[in-house]
Amino acid sequence: MGKKLVIIDTDCGIDDAQAIMMALVAPEVEVLGITCTFGNAAVDDVCQNVLRVLSVCERNEVIPVFRGSAGPLVGADNPFSDHFGSDGLGDVIQDKDPQWEKKIQKEHSVNAMIRLVSENQNQVSLVALGPLTNLALAVRLDPGFPQKLRELYVMGGNMEGKGNVTLCAEFNFALDPESAYIVLEEYLCPTHIASWEFSCRNGLTWEFFEELINQDAPAARFMKAITSQCSAYSKTSLKNKRDVYFGSVFVSYDAYAMAACIDSSLVTESIACPVRVELLGSLGRGMMALDRTNQLKKSHSVFVLTKCDVAKFSQLLMDSLRQPRKK
């Protein structure tokens, strides 16, 4: 069998960088392109972050990078989180590339996504790591786009109405609830959701994190640099018992969706049911609701991941910062 063809849609922050590195070293994966969207940072910063990751991994001349949505479908606010720094990578990179725009493809992310999938129908796995704006626009431009995908993996949403940026919503869905709604209503391809709770409940120890970033390899040194501020925040939260999710374990959120795409056997338990994203209400906007009693009468179910093989996941993380880069 040939390699699994993958498109990565990302708002490249630190955990996105980890997920991208994981895909780059997976021998069974071929990354067709990386499409950028706003989220952890402004879309121009996201583009530069992706180029930086590819450069560290010696793949910047191999994988095309596309600039996409600069904001949500509705509203003009871009409430970027500062958890990963203002640039999404911890504000530690000083030598910004003045020529970065010349290295970005002229084709828009949404157009590139539609083209690449149309050229490889029913072969492409799309891994969405940020707000789903590019994906929503893709189905509006090409209503048949979802049916051309092999599968979709999403890092986002929540299972129990517990939010991490609002009272009831997870970051990626909260930044563009309308796009999340469109994708989970209209993408009828096999869809796998790595929710916020799933990531948190399959977290790793801080001892593992120290071993991970202290490997003697360029990628590990890069990850050590960009995680220096947010890991310190998380450890302080743990010491002060202030935040059970951000502090008690090391969680590389986006890497869970990527790992599930790379190795489906890593997922040991999931819930198959319809879901819907709430668009109304001052408290519930952006929340993902699981319909376990078929009240929505939807014909399409998704797989909401609940448990994973932590040992396999740990190995994928370790290999992503240790192995020689694929060419």
Active site residues: 11
Count the helices and strands in the chain (H runs, E runs). 14, 10
Question: What is the C-alpha to C-alpha distance for residues 189 and 191, in angstroms, rounded to an integer?
Answer: 6
Q: Are 162 and 173 in contact (CB under 8 A)?
A: no
The full DSSP string for 96-151 is --TTGGGGSBSS-HHHHHHHHHHHTTTTEEEEE-S-SHHHHHHHHH-TTHHHH-SE
| Pair of tokens at residue 214 | 């202290």
Residue whose pair of structure tokens reads 């690449």 in the numeric block: 116
Query: Based on the number of CB atoms within 10 Å of its own CB, is 95 exposed (0-12), middle (13-18) or buried (19 or more)?
Result: exposed
User: How many angstroms separate the Cα of 222 from the Cα of each of 95, 211, 246?
Assistant: 13, 14, 21
Q: Are 250 and 288 in contact (CB under 8 A)?
A: no
